[in-house]
Amino acid sequence: MLAVLLVLVASASGTQSAAEQQAQQAQEAQLGPVSKLPLPRFVSLKSDRVNLHEGPSKEHPTRWVYQRAGLPVEITAEFEIWRRIRDSEGGEGWVLHSLLSGRRTALVAPWKKEPLVLTASDHQQPVAKLSPGVIAALKSCDGEWCRLQGPGFDGYMKQENLWGVYPGEKVQ
């Protein structure tokens, strides 16, 4: 009740409106306490051997060992030098922050069975077919289409067919 009264008083005094305060609080609540970067956010694995721990220390048991450098993962929490991550299959655990890279990558529709078409910039002309699970460098996204690059390919794919980028997210 007191918080509501304070918001009303602040609003009436001509400072921030209640909606502005709520938006600011929501934005602050979505920043990592250590990195001050947005949570959640996508990053990629820096190494081809990354131990996923049950908790944020080396004393916690290793739950899984990732063996794919460049694999996109989602950071969902931070604690000191540890980051809680989620992979495309929903697996979660803690990894050292030094084993993660801010380089954006995407996984081609791991939930699909058939290859997907990569197109030229006109979004019409096919340039390649990529199998589900292919990792590509994420060069840009306009909220609907993303430009992907990898060994032997460079083209565009619908954002909805990628894991490693949020729906509607714009990437420069």
Tens digit of pLDDT at every position of the chain (172 positions) = 323 322 323 333 445 555 455 445 444 559 999 999 999 999 999 999 999 999 999 999 999 999 999 999 999 999 999 999 999 999 999 999 999 999 999 999 999 999 999 999 999 999 999 999 999 999 999 999 999 999 999 999 999 999 999 999 999 9
Q: What is the pLDDT of residue 89?
A: 96
Compute and round to an integer the Cα radius of gyration of the chain.
20
- Tell me the CATH class for 41-103: mainly beta
Contacts of 2 (CB under 8 A, 6+ apart): none
Ramachandran region of residue 63, left (φ > 0), alpha (ψ -120 to 50) or beta? alpha
Q: Domain spans of the chain? A: 1-30, 41-103, 106-171
Q: What is the pLDDT of residue 17?
A: 53
Q: What is the pLDDT of residue 56?
A: 98
For domain 106-171, give the fold: SH3 type barrels. (2.30.30)
Q: What is the pLDDT of residue 128?
A: 96
Q: What is the pLDDT of residue 29?
A: 56
Q: What is the pLDDT of residue 47?
A: 96
Interior CA angle at 68 toward 140 and 141, to 5°? Answer: 10
In 3D space, the residue among 78, 87, 91, 93 whose CA is nearest the CA of residue 38 turns out to be 78
String of b and e for 42-58 (b: at least 16 CB within 10 Å)?
Answer: bbbbbbeebbbbeebee
Fold match flag (41-103 vs 106-171):
yes
93 vs 54: CA distance, rounded Å? 5
